[in-house]
Structure 1
């Protein structure tokens, strides 16, 4: 029989590829004659490159030296898929872990623009998938757009310094020298529905996660409103507030579309093709709960598998569902239950994922 192992990452403990291999090892130990296909997935945030690099044969890793969110140099990798799609992970150039300490007003997306400049200059690139999770910035993408040739000017005609805080002095925008997007367009992979502005927007909802105090949140929201007044575009679009408004900036200036990260990664990885003819698909994540079924990796996979009649087993660090709740999955296994404690499961997740894979394979043998 054919089994597809397609988990998300177990955030903070194990990446999706390592998780998939652990579950597959446990299954193969019990049923060595089965065809086990590992297909790690992601939601369009951190970990997307590793997942697609594993899943897509003949994909090519590339890299560029760029500025980090505080201006220090970093080397940022990107991935070129065989169909000419470049996958660019914003966190590689402007992620929060690249800062020694948060800088909500000054952190810049400039390195993302430098990375994109290198990407679109590659003759093999036809379109860009831009993943937006894990950013350190709230500058509306202006740093990146500046690196691509846009100019954000104050009343005296001087270019603004980096960071979202400087947008309070924005007077006009000059896009005449902006590098054009690739011919196949740009898709921003988002897993949030936040608008650009307001309490649920880029600064209001996510600014505190990037170190912004309440007065800084208010200042950044006002600054982003000033940017929206100058650029136009749809500030209310669901997802416009992703990555500190970077999604909005690229939609307004580069015509980028917003797409579900989980759906885009699944499509690029060939999940539907992998499910064809499968007897079971095993997925997983750190915590499986009601939110898991609402647009995340596991929820998207459950929907796809349901359309093809393939049963789904979920392996999660913790399974948190209301007692008696009906789940659209064949089986749900908790690593915490297998290990006997949260600490035990988190201390060696690969071991317990292997145990879970073995358990599922034994159960399958009983039902066959």
Structure 2
């Protein structure tokens, strides 16, 4: 490739959790590109996939920020930021039930609840929202969205007619789903579920099996949560008179511990892949037109990155554009890079602990971007 396109470089990064927002990551990478090729045309396209940091990426594009006093996944007071853009509310689950919020305490995988998310959704309904977009990712919960449903007025009852305990563990006792007290506004609004993974609700690729361990679930907890989610799906299917598969097997039903399962079937909401949705908002295909090189990355590049996360979306766009791609991440699984067929480099230049990598992430990303640009463009 020659001419202007040879010096056009697109930086399209997700947030590096605990270190950099997507905007900060793109800015650091852009500095590195210009160090290597001072006359390069650098186009920044901050990315997200529905997980933690997605709201920040959206706020950079406009909308009115609101805040709601709520609780985190283990019931402690928290404040959640959300967006009201016209009559569309955008709510990030990680603001009210996120894993980073509770990492300072012992993880409680069987008890963690999405009730706090429900308080934010109620606030959005009170504000007059006609549409609710839920950004699903980065959760500390595996409760199938039960806490959110209860916050909206549903009741999950055991065989004796008593409410089941909060969290995914409580779903093991659920015998009926009572929707008679559901806030009618929940059925009147448009729902969109933006998911960061395409996992089903249950099974070896489901919410508990794949994501439960990072939320503190032991092998025994994973088995218990998977069985509880299956029970919840069956009870939900009975209450809604739909096949269980319409709840449990929809791609993305397992995102954020299963929020887009029963609630999606109840509301008829749309499930969309977060990475592709943000790519359209960011105008990624247009940004890549004529690009010689695309740099992308996230905190950790591993086997989950191929399942609709930012790196896989940017990779597909780069292939369409005929541009070279390089992945820069805090840590890199070589098998994942080989499976995707892309060059990938860790920001770590030698032995370093996580705290040091997070502290120096901007400087390390800038240096890695400079090296990758020189290597790719031969400068």
The answer to which of 243-252 and 197-206 deviates more is 197-206
Give how far 1:144 is off.
0.4
Name the residue aligned to 1:120. Answer: 125
Give the direction of change, closer, same or farther, for the CA distance of 1:126–1:38 in structure 2 (3 Å limit): farther
Give the direction of change, closer, same or farther, for the CA distance of 1:11–1:67 in structure 2 (3 Å limit): closer
Give the direction of change, closer, same or farther, for the CA distance of 1:81–1:170 in structure 2 (3 Å limit): same
Give how far 1:365 is off.
7.5
- Which of 345, 350, 361 matches 1:349? 361
Tell me if structure 1 keeps the 8 A contact 2:17–2:52.
Answer: no
- Secondary structure in 2 matching 1:130: strand
* In 1, Cα distance between equivalents of 2:191 and 2:283: 21
For this pair of structures, how many residues does the alignment match?
358
The answer to which of 176-185 and 3-12 deviates more is 176-185
Give how far 1:247 is off.
2.0
* In 2, Cα distance between equivalents of 1:189 and 1:293: 14
* In 1, Cα distance between equivalents of 2:221 and 2:277: 34
User: What aligned pairs does 1:54-69 form with structure 2 within 5 A after superposition?
Assistant: 54=60, 56=61, 58-69=62-73
Name the residue aligned to 2:231. Answer: 226
Name the residue aligned to 2:211. Answer: 206
Give how far 1:92 is off.
1.3
Name the residue aligned to 1:38. Answer: 44
Give the direction of change, closer, same or farther, for the CA distance of 1:205–1:23 in structure 2 (3 Å limit): closer
Name the residue aligned to 1:7. Answer: 13
* In 1, Cα distance between equivalents of 2:142 and 2:306: 29
What residue ranges of structure 2 are gaps of 5+ in the alignment?
A: 238-245
Give how far 1:223 is off.
2.9
- Secondary structure in 1 matching 2:13: coil
The answer to which of 214-223 and 265-274 deviates more is 214-223
Q: Deviations over 1:122-176 (max 9, x none)?
A: 33x4533322222222222111011112122234444334222333332322223
Tell me if structure 1 keeps the 8 A contact 2:52–2:98.
Answer: no
Give how far 1:285 is off.
3.0
Give how far 1:93 is off.
0.7
Name the residue aligned to 1:238. Answer: 251
* In 2, Cα distance between equivalents of 1:109 and 1:307: 38
What residue ranges of structure 1 are gaps of 5+ in the alignment?
A: none
Give the direction of change, closer, same or farther, for the CA distance of 1:152–1:317 in structure 2 (3 Å limit): closer
Question: TM-score, normalised on structure 1?
Answer: 0.82
Give how far 1:64 is off.
0.9
- Which of 120, 127, 141 matches 2:145? 141
- Which of 164, 168, 173 matches 1:169? 173
Tell me if structure 2 keeps the 8 A contact 1:186–1:254.
Answer: no
1:295 to 2:301 alignment: no
* In 2, Cα distance between equivalents of 1:327 and 1:70: 37
Name the residue aligned to 2:95. Answer: 92
Give how far 1:113 is off.
1.0
* In 2, Cα distance between equivalents of 1:366 and 1:43: 32
* In 1, Cα distance between equivalents of 2:372 and 2:234: 55
Give the direction of change, closer, same or farther, for the CA distance of 1:181–1:349 in structure 2 (3 Å limit): same
Give the direction of change, closer, same or farther, for the CA distance of 1:326–1:148 in structure 2 (3 Å limit): closer
Q: Deviations over 1:24-51 (max 9, x none)?
A: 1233345555443322212321121122
Name the residue aligned to 1:79. Answer: 83
* In 1, Cα distance between equivalents of 2:338 and 2:101: 41
Tell me if structure 2 keeps the 8 A contact 1:129–1:189.
Answer: no
Name the residue aligned to 1:101. Answer: 106
- Which of 24, 27, 33 matches 1:27? 33
RMSD: 3.3
Name the residue aligned to 1:261. Answer: 274
